[in-house]
Amino acid sequence: QVQLVESGGGLVQAGGSLRLSCAASGRTFSNYAMGWFRQAPGKEREFVAAINWSRITSYADSVKGRFTISRDNAKNTSALQMNSLKPEDTAVYYCAVAATAFLPLTSSNYKYWGQGTQVTVSS
The amino acid at residue 1 is Q
Return the DSSP state at 57. Answer: E
CA distance 81 to 18: 6
Per-residue pLDDT of the chain (123 residues; tens, 9 = 90+): 889 999 999 999 999 999 999 999 998 888 999 999 999 999 999 999 999 989 999 999 999 999 999 999 999 999 999 999 999 999 999 999 998 888 888 999 999 999 999 999 999
Res 35: pLDDT: 96
Res 98: pLDDT: 93
Answer yes or no: are the C-beta atoms of 2 and 55 closer than 8 Å. no
Interacting residues of 33 by C-beta distance below 8 A, sequence separation 6+: 50, 51, 52, 53, 97, 98, 100, 101, 102, 103, 104
